[in-house]
Amino acid sequence: MQHFVFKRIAVCLAAAGLTVLSWSMAPAAYAFDNPDLLPDIQTPIIDLADTLTSVQEKQLVTDLEQFEAETGYKLRVLTQFDRTPGRAVKDFWKLDDKSVLLIADARGGNLLGFNVGEAVYALLPRTFWIELQTRYGNQFFVRDNGEDQSILQSLQSVESCLRQGGCRVVPGLPREQWILTLVTSVIGGFVCGFAAQPRDGKIVAWQWALIFSPLWGILFVAFGIGPVISRTSDWLPLVRNILGFVLGALVAYLTPIVSRSSTSET
């Protein structure tokens, strides 16, 4: 089970790297122009890949229209596979600086793609969209939850952040990401405990612990605590990471003391 979890973490990290490359290298989502695929009536969703059920689509249409009326931000959804209207959607939806176009296309390595207006970028930076794409569009999430949930949950995150005036990171802490923060917290504790091991007759080598503080501080605070408190208000993962740091520090600190005690007894 642990091997499977860490394998998923490794693949997610690789997916994040590929997402960054694809974000910078991919051409515009509407590189072609086929207006014949556009519906006859105005709707915020064009589901050419039949990803959403009729009930989901109806509910989502109502939600997106209400959100636009309340906030002024225009969220649009295009699902495609072997057919795409291309550039035609820009004029059909009159996309502007306050628009977000979600493109769901299963042909690539990541299901999701986004075209974002400049006014939205001011509230949700590029790193937000990369993380959003990586979290909800990766193959594991799509396999476990379905393409429909990938679309719905990513839109919920966008709506939530725009309603509260912007986000620097995607809300919520996935299990794989929390495990990474826990691991870095434990490693930070090991470094701190190793540096503080008794030296020169002192019970705690505070000087060495301070010298190594940039290293264990980055591991624990920046990579262990920061991602948790910036994504969730839940105290449980935070407490677990703190306990992991303390436990790692105690193990590293006490190991030579226990070893010397065992040697003297023999």
> Do 109 and 55 share a structural domain?
yes
> Do 198 and 150 share a structural domain?
no
Q: Is residue 168 part of a domain?
A: no
The residues with which 47 forms a beta bridge, in sequence order, are 79
Where does residue 190 rank: exposed (0-12), middle (13-18), buried (19+ CB within 10 A)? buried
pLDDT digits (tens, 9 = 90+) for 231-246: 888 899 999 999 999 9
> Do 219 and 190 share a structural domain?
yes
pLDDT digits (tens, 9 = 90+) for 61-95: 999 999 999 999 999 999 998 888 888 899 999 99
> Do 159 and 196 share a structural domain?
no
> Do 235 and 144 share a structural domain?
no
Q: Is residue 146 part of a domain?
A: yes
> Do 115 and 222 share a structural domain?
no
Q: Is residue 105 part of a domain?
A: yes
> Do 208 and 152 share a structural domain?
no
> Do 134 and 67 share a structural domain?
yes
Last residue of a domain, one of 163, 183, 205: 163
Last residue of a domain, one of 126, 141, 163: 163
Last residue of a domain, one of 163, 191, 215: 163
Q: How many domains does the chain have?
A: 2
Q: Is residue 78 part of a domain?
A: yes
| Consecutive H or E run containing 100 | strand 99-105
Q: Tokens at residue 160, please?
A: 């939530």
Give DSSP secondary structure letters for 163-221: HTT--SS-SS--HHHHHHHHHHHHHHHHHHHHHTS-BTTBSS-HHHHHHTHHHHHIIII
Domain that holds residue 255: 175-265
pLDDT in tens, the chain (266 residues): 444 444 455 545 444 454 444 443 343 444 466 777 888 899 999 999 999 999 999 999 999 999 999 999 999 999 998 888 888 899 999 999 999 999 999 887 899 999 999 999 999 999 999 999 999 999 999 999 999 999 999 999 999 999 999 999 998 888 888 899 999 999 999 999 999 998 877 888 889 999 999 999 999 999 999 989 988 888 999 999 999 999 999 999 998 877 766 665 55
